[in-house]
Structure 1
Amino acid sequence: MLGPQTPVFPAYIPADVDMDAVLIEVAADGVSADPADEAGLQQVVAGAREQGIDLKVVVIDSNPPIDTPLRDIATVVAQSHPDATVLVLSPSFAGTHSQAFDRVTLEAGEDLAKTGNPVQSAQNFVDQLNTPDFPWTGLTIVLTVGVLLAAVATRMLQVRAKSVETPKSQADTASAAPH
């Protein structure tokens, strides 16, 4: 029976991933990765921290059949670090979890984090998190106002053209009438 402190893991974490070891490593320095990548990833984590991002990075050695398990791993890590943004990398996939960033931003970062080089992937991810979003609201307002002004101008031109045409028609009718 599960006790109140026993975490419930998602159903699909690859068998070759030792989540207990991952959680211990991430708790120690924010990174769970191959020792060859550890120092570079710790620099990326420190740089992210300077920019106000509590980043945790997990790198697994092999690709799962799909990328979903990486998000599951990120979710488990986030249970221990609820304010963190968690990035999980495999050679070809990336998965994330964050309360601080929306899914669109995370997925844009994931797309840039598929380089095959964990340090570069993590840096690309952080860079994307710091990239300002396109101001869609402003663009929508400008376009809406522009269409409204075009519609008003068109209607004014129609009314003007009709008023110019009407006196001419009356003059033509009057000149055609017998005197």
Structure 2
Amino acid sequence: MSPDPVVFTVASPDPVGGRPADKWASLDMPAIVKQLKATGVYAPEDQAPELKKLVAQAKADGHDLFVVVTDQQFAPFTVYRDVAHVLQESTGGTVLVFGPGGNLGTSSTDFSRVQLEDATSEAHSGAAPAQQAREIYEKAIDPNVDWTLATIALIVVVVIGAVIARVRGLRKSDVDEAESNAVQAVDDEAATKA
């Protein structure tokens, strides 16, 4: 008699079901895209002026920034990133999507996913979207250390140091050998005279 087979659940089906866009079907995406292309901001009237200033600053810095603020709650929180990605495909640049409860999503052609994740992790949760958007943008444009170049530079310095040390070591051994030969020659000369 054998035991019953063991069943492992690798992934559970999506409880909401359907395509990803079904999760945010309540958003009027064409209207949002139209507003973003016109002003760079899709947000409640009380938040739009400050966000438009940030969008204008980003434009002056050479970046296309678009900010969406919605009061709609979506689950899971990754939906905000999906919305940002879909909008970014229409607008280009960088899209920040803010939802209630500190939920946010980002998508960009200007900044890497690492830069955006780093910037969003340092934004003050619970702050107004305008403040969070400014913090994210300012952190994203901060100069970042290019660790690949830093590593290559360090390797080059170490190799140059090793070559210099080797050359000095060879010169020292040549000098030591010459001194030794000179001493030996003096000793040989003294021995032949004696």
**TM norm structure 1:** 0.68
User: How far, CA to CA, are the matches of 1:101 and 1:149 in structure 2?
Assistant: 35
CA root-mean-square deviation = 3.6
The question of 1:112 aligning with 2:119 is answered: no
The question of 1:18 aligning with 2:26 is answered: yes
Amino acid corresponding to residue 110 of structure 2 in structure 1: A
Match for residue 129 of structure 1? 140
Q: Runs of 5+ in structure 2 lacking a partner? A: 1-17, 188-193
User: How far, CA to CA, are the matches of 2:87 and 2:176 in structure 1?
Assistant: 75
Tell me by how many angstroms 1:11 deviates: 1.5
Higher RCO, 1 vs 2 (CA within 8 Å, ≥6 residues apart): 1
Aligned length: 168
Q: Runs of 5+ in structure 1 lacking a partner? A: 1-8
Alignment counterpart, residue 61 of structure 2, candidates 34, 37, 51: 51
Match for residue 30 of structure 1? 40
User: How far, CA to CA, are the matches of 1:127 and 1:65 in structure 2?
Assistant: 28
Q: What whole-Å deviation, never above 9, does each CA across 1:110-148 have from its counterpart, x for those lacking one?
A: 233453220011111222333233244553343122101
Cα pair distance change 1:107/1:23, threshold 3 Å: farther
Match for residue 105 of structure 2? 95
**TM norm structure 2:** 0.64
Q: Sequence identity, in percent? A: 33
Q: What whole-Å deviation, never above 9, does each CA across 1:32-58 have from its counterpart, x for those lacking one?
A: 334432222222222222323222112
**Which of 1 and 2 has greater Rg?**
2
